[in-house]
Structure 1
Amino acid sequence: MTEPKKIKKPRGTARPIPGKCIACGARCQSACPVDAIEMSDAGEPIILSEKCIGCLKCVKVCPADALEMFFTPEELKILEELARQQAAGAAPAVEEEDAEEAALAQMLAAYRGVWVFVEQTEGEPAKVSWELMGVGAQLARDIGTELCAIVIGHGVEHLCREAFSYGATKAYLMDQDVFRFYRTEPYLDACCHLIDKYKPEIILMGATGMGRDLAGAVATRVKTGLTADCTGLDVDDKRNLRQTRPAFGGNIMATIMCDKFRPQMATVRPHVMPMPERMEGATGAIVREQITLNEADILTKVIEIIRDTKVGVDIAGAEFIVSGGRGLMGPENFAMLQELADELGGVVGASRSAVDAGWMPHDRQVGQTGKTVRPKIYIACGISGAIQHLVGMQDSDVVIAINRDKEAPIFQVATYGIVGDLFKIVPAITSQLRELKASKRKG
């Protein structure tokens, strides 16, 4: 019995589907391994057919299904012949790329679990860790796996139990004197030890000074991708983490995936995700691990800790924020916003344009390059609403926008919008609040 003739399966050439591209930020171009895609001025792909190898990477990564594979009549005939052989039970040998796909699937299947790094300083946890537990629990439910905490430090076992109260079912604890203070080298070794041994598929860290430093080092050593400053996280039907963040200077929102490497890593800024409800009495399993680290081999030493005693304004944790932008016309007019903030028991914030103009200090800036806030009430005065600003305040409970331009983007996210002169409206609101307070005191 003769073997069926082996036919090389044609790959075809990628081509755009007219009218479907959403200009997502050149994801197809970045995915192409042979530089066969150029982008037009409109942000749409131009396929260089002489370079395309038909690897399908651009087709798979496109969020709008705006790319397809094109086959010549000769290639279509070959595909028909392959289909005929398969129907006759004489399928051709598995091609090399099929074997590669099988190996990739086997590797991806070895990684399971959603991990959240519990950041702490001398045993005091960072709140962003518990915020990440909330979104981590949802991701774990979506892909049918467990939510785990990574706790590294000295005398920090209590953080494992606290992690259980925020939804974790397991905590990996590395409690050694060498981890008493955060230093990149020992924490990096600890994280990589846990990753190599237990193979998580998703790792979330806070986009803080510590988190940014550690996440980048871990991703580099384990050779995986890392998306920083995410504003949204979910998963697709193939267990890939969809990581949404501002891109191109904040002008668009990009969704990034790491579909061929594990673990998938993302950092999220404080106050971006809602704080989950605490479940008192919740329990879980503590997995204790240790590694041998020689203190003499660690180049960084902590000599002294000097705490910053300067009392500043905590804009990120404020419940009421009155923010000003270019529409304030000058730094002296922020005093008007301060009066309103004082009546509300809140603080004054600013847009990037106001900070860049020197009207307010950087620690008051709300937005992509400033602070992310989630107040009960956010009042935007003279702020147009560029996406860089919106990503920092759009999750406020109530947004009140005051602007002369009725077409200003800020009104798209506002709960209440006031079109008019802020120099008349803001003092009127302040005056009304004072009158209400006075009447209550008299009553």
Structure 2
Amino acid sequence: MVKLSKILEIGIELCCILILGFMQLTKKEYIGYYSTRTIVIILGVIMAIAVLSIAKHDKRLSNIIKTEYRYIRIYLFLIFISSIYTLVSYNYSFKELFYVLIPYLYIFLAFPITYVFYKNGGMEKLLLRLSLFVICILICKAIAWFLFNFSDQIIFERLLFEFKDWFRNGLQRVNAGYLIGISLVIFFCKGFEQNGKLIYKIAVIFIIWFLMNITVFRFQFLTAIGTCFVVYYFLNGKELGVFTRRAILIFLAIVILTSKPFLNLIYTFSVNNSTLGNSTAVRLLCFKHYSNLFISKNPILGLGFLTSGNDSANAIMTYAGNMIYWLEDLGLLGGFFRLGVSSIYIYGTLFYFAIKTCIQSLKIQGGNLKSVIWGVSAYMIVTCTMLNIFDAQRAFDVPFYLAIITYSNWKIKDIQQKKTEFYN
């Protein structure tokens, strides 16, 4: 008989295959954008119900997911309140409302992901396999990007042109997609641990190169570099002493942060930079636009879930006739303007739980658990300041963040308890 954990593992992998972009490799669309995401949400809900049913009879599992369950329960209540507010404010149809809620409904996947971690005895097996999926789709995107920009050939058209008119420096850009930060952390841990394999080091370099040259998100690229430093700092290894490794790391950080190429990259964020500063200027105008709306409309409930597909919502998103300001450009502030005070719980609790788990991990030795939780937490929190983790392009990562934090928190306590029992 097939174990439930194996069925759930396959279900999670299927969700990743659907959401990462493999369905866009075909020239003809067989499953639409919203249909794909609806399938993922339905699978997530079914798997979550299965795990919660098991937890009623499994005290250990119940103990693992109790904080996760409490967070998601309040989270769903707050999203429900914001949904009703949005429905009334903008006269959405139920179909329109469901579409804007999709990024917030992936959260159910956190339960089966945590369960698979628990049954596998760790996170590495599942996360490594999913990271290989990520690398495969990135390779497809890189090939399509290169052929289009340098050979005028088009392959994987629906993958390449996921976002229309998305150019920088005269080249078509391609979004890196979901699970990038998590994959980077996993590959770095596997590649730079003692006797780490070269293939994982190459994967790390490829992801960073992709962010720098193909996605061309300067902030995401810098965050990825910083995440690698964080992971390396906490990584266990015996080739160099801990003090020596960290001294070298600090020295390299100082050299890089004061180097001319790095300072030039930072300058591109300036509004005075004629080439790339425009995106910073637009964000400042976007902030001014939505902050005024937020104060005048409802500072408690926020602006609600906005979509340009609805006339009422589109009207407050539009400026200069037909140009649209996107809340997505404001990162964490965009989430605050959207959800109001509810965002303090939704973001704040998740970040607090992550930071608390990171601090607790300092008490354990050995393994890569410490590096994983610090790396994932650092990437999640830092990127969210400019790239909202609940936006459509990143929200699928959230249940993985929550599951990693939840399982790590329990695992750290379990390690400490066993250590105490051993000495007693």
TM score, norm. by length of structure 2: 0.20
The one of the two structures with greater contact order (alpha-carbon pairs below 8 A, sep at least 6) is: 2
